[in-house]
A and B are shown apart, each in its own frame.
Chain A
């Protein structure tokens, strides 16, 4: 289940394709765009795409953990607005270090509210996080008084806070490094630790998980902390890159993130999927956007293509599992 790549050598080519369809699609897709579009497969362009995808990507890592445990988190978009506004606003007031600390605590507290309601009170995650989406958007506006915030222009080039969004190490942009580093850490935890196995177990079969002695409530609670933590990191990157923030900066992110997670092949029912798949899913979304722009299509054409791609991807996944293309519903 947790295997990053489906087990080779069981001879079943169809099953192999079904399990790893997303990787094959990714390679085919990259080759096709590479041939069809000049400038697509240049290091500069690839770096650019990954950099712009990093914020959605970081959030998607946390959301994947939530989805693996069989729940949803629609509050991440609002939470991103909240975190970004807060970290930018506090930068000038109490300094970047303290600002980051306070923001992370605040965001984790919001995640804890999600976790308490869904993990311990056992409420439906879709509705709870929908309510939180609205409530956190309100909190953000109350906090900022409805005004946009920004970091004092005179310090924008000197503050060390700029490193998260604008810095680079050995020529690689910092958002990319943060994204991949976090992906490796969370990917390892999910795939190779007892905690990760508990997340899969709770998502795969909650009843069986509880009977095997897993404390379901705690596991679910913790996944929302992971999700909130990732949103906090994304807020730092976003705030640092823009050096300012609107109150609605994260609006709609929850669905773009979810689109990436689903496209990667993580099941919304829980118990099946992986961090690597999500990384690929999110990157595909980024490359679709980039490729279409390079081809001269309007920016929003990517959404139409994403629509088709998501449904095709999930359809093939579902069809492979049931062994027939069309649903048996009359």
Chain B
């Protein structure tokens, strides 16, 4: 947030205006940040900021991958179920007797299995979208039910507990003064930002979302491209499931319920278009922060959790409305 004000003070007041019009969510983030700082004495504290980042990391990680998929013009509704699957697999497998003698290394096969499951399910979603041509909404809606079914069948509706405490210690650990989970989130945010804004894959992501036919004609292999993005979101959903379960030292089969809705909310708040072709990681990061600052601040002000749901829903619709007003093409748009 510091660099925003810096640019404003500098030469580019116009550039700042331009930037904020393209990322209106950051204006909102600053407003709620100032609001809660003034209204609540406990909000403006380093410990609380760390808290916000940890809480934001779960939704945030998934939102990074979701941004790519949504810029492609697709969507992934199965992320919440993948969160539960990865968490359950990881916590269960690291407790298998065959890894008993491995010490803390017993966590590794669990984590690898969890991440692999996420990537594989993403690949499956992407492959089906590619080969069948069925809309991603339907494919991942099916996967959302099916993967959740897999979780319930696999776990027999039981929670798993991590017997190796190094696992939950990791969730509570810090690195270079930052909570490790927050650090993981920030590093991946930077990586995906670079992927999207500085690489060929990134520019292809926009091209495919903007005009799929044109992308095909331009020689982009659209099918595999979309599949890779589904694998990325699957990876992040699995990673989020694992980091979430390190925070609890356990996994439950209901983990991640409704996450897809929260993640999509964050990504749309961040300015990514449902129709594809537009969006950015900076926007998504702002969307995730906005949601988490609101949740955290309202929690500190002891607003009942119920109201948070109403306010978030209203904000989502409000942002959609504002976005439509601001981006209206004017007279050239046919008013039907």
Contacts and interface: CB of A to CB of B under 8 A. Distances in A.
Interface of A: 117, 121-124, 126-128, 130-139, 141-142, 146, 206-207, 210, 216, 251-252, 255-256, 258-259, 262, 268, 298-304, 306-308, 310-311, 314-315, 318-319, 322, 326-330
B309 interface: yes
A301 B153 CA distance: 7
A326 B313 contact: no
A298 B320 contact: no
Interface in B108-157: 128, 130-135, 137-139, 141-150, 152-153, 156-157
B290 to A, nearest CB: 14
B321 A123 contact: yes
Given A142-B307, A300-B153, A310 B313 contact: no
B316 A314 contact: no
A258 B145 CA distance: 11
A131 B148 CA distance: 23
A215 B41 CA distance: 53
A138 B313 contact: yes
B198 interface: no
A131 B324 contact: no
Contact of B139 (A121, A135, A210, A311): A311
Contact of B336 (A123, A216, A322): A216
Contacts of A306: 142, 145-146, 149
A210 B216 contact: no
Contacts of A139: 306, 310
B265 A134 contact: yes
Nearest to B306: A141
25 contacts: A127-B264, A127-B268, A130-B316, A133-B261, A134-B313, A136-B313, A142-B306, A146-B304, A207-B334, A255-B77, A255-B144, A259-B141, A299-B152, A300-B148, A300-B153, A306-B146, A307-B149, A311-B128, A311-B132, A311-B134, A314-B134, A327-B130, A329-B212, A329-B216, A330-B221
B68 interface: no
Nearest to A113: B317
B199 interface: no
B202 interface: no
Interface residues of B, number: 56
A60 to B, nearest CB: 14
A264 to B, nearest CB: 13
Contacts of B134: 311, 314-315, 318
B314 A135 contact: yes
Nearest to A262: B138
B222 interface: yes
A130 B306 contact: no
B307 A138 contact: yes
Q: Among B131, B132, B314, B321, which residue has the most Cβ atoms of chain A within 10 A? A: B132
A134 B294 CA distance: 15
B208 to A, nearest CB: 10
Given A134-B261, A302-B149, A318-B133, A121 B321 contact: yes
Q: Among A131, A216, A256, A304, which residue has the most Cβ atoms of chain B within 10 A? A: A131
A268 B306 contact: no
A264 B306 CA distance: 36
B149 A310 contact: no
A128 B132 contact: no
A141 B156 CA distance: 30
A295 B257 CA distance: 28
A286 to B, nearest CB: 14
A318 B309 contact: no
Q: Which 10 A-B pairs have the closest CB atoms?
A: A307-B146, A303-B149, A135-B313, A327-B133, A138-B309, A300-B152, A138-B310, A134-B313, A141-B306, A131-B316
A325 to B, nearest CB: 8
A138 B268 CA distance: 20
Nearest to B151: A300
B32 interface: no
B223 A132 contact: no
Interface string B309-336: 1111111110011001000000000101
Contacts of B324: 121-123
A131 B223 contact: no
B85 to A, nearest CB: 12
Interface in B59-83: 77
B308 interface: yes
B86 interface: no
B274 interface: yes
Contacts of A308: 142, 146
Nearest to A308: B146
Given A142-B306, A255-B141, A300-B149, A134 B133 contact: no
Interface string B258-272: 100100110010000
Contacts of A299: 152
A299 B157 CA distance: 10
A196 B61 CA distance: 44
Contacts of B316: 127, 130-131, 134
Interface in B185-242: 212, 216, 221-223
Contacts of A206: 336
